[in-house]
Amino acid sequence: VSEHDAILEAKLKVIDQTHRCVTGKTALIVIDMQHGFIDEGASLEVTAARDIIPNLTALIDAFRSKSAPVIFTEFIYADNVPCLRGDPFGTEHLFGEGEPGFGKPSSNCLIGHNAGTGSES
């Protein structure tokens, strides 16, 4: 075994030890993989995001096969958040109507249901 192969094997062993799925303690968090970033021509298009879809799909499938939680975040914007006003945000980034919460439309992680005018904005 070459020195390079031995180093690689040692690194992979550490990865296997530290990056394992522990039932009840491990979740996969998928951040901002949404049409407003991935679709061609989207207002905040990130072309490289499309490249990771196959690996991300494999990760999601692996977590689900172990009954581990998969949590998706969604970027949205609101006109009442000063740093998010105007261009380049398209309508695909607006939050949906309704009460925010788990499995419901986001409220941009604002504090309270009508937040947006205080220091948290």
Q: Give the CA count within 13 Å in the CB-facing half-sphere of 114.
A: 0
What whole-number distance in Å separates Cα of residue 104 and Cα of residue 96?
Answer: 8
Q: Is residue 17 part of a domain?
A: no
Tell me which residue of 40, 43, 104 sits closest to 74, measured CA to CA.
Answer: 104
Domain count, the chain: 1
Q: Is residue 89 part of a domain?
A: yes
For residue 48, what are the domain limits? 26-120
Residue with tokens 């009442």: 80
Beta bridge partners of 29: 71
pLDDT of residue 30: 93
Q: Is residue 74 part of a domain?
A: yes
pLDDT of residue 17: 84
Q: Is residue 12 part of a domain?
A: no
Residue with tokens 């990865």: 15
pLDDT of residue 119: 38
pLDDT of the chain, 121 residues: tens digit per residue: 799 999 999 999 998 888 888 888 899 999 989 888 888 988 788 899 999 999 999 999 999 998 999 999 877 766 665 555 555 555 655 555 666 555 555 544 444 455 444 433 3
Q: Is residue 8 part of a domain?
A: no
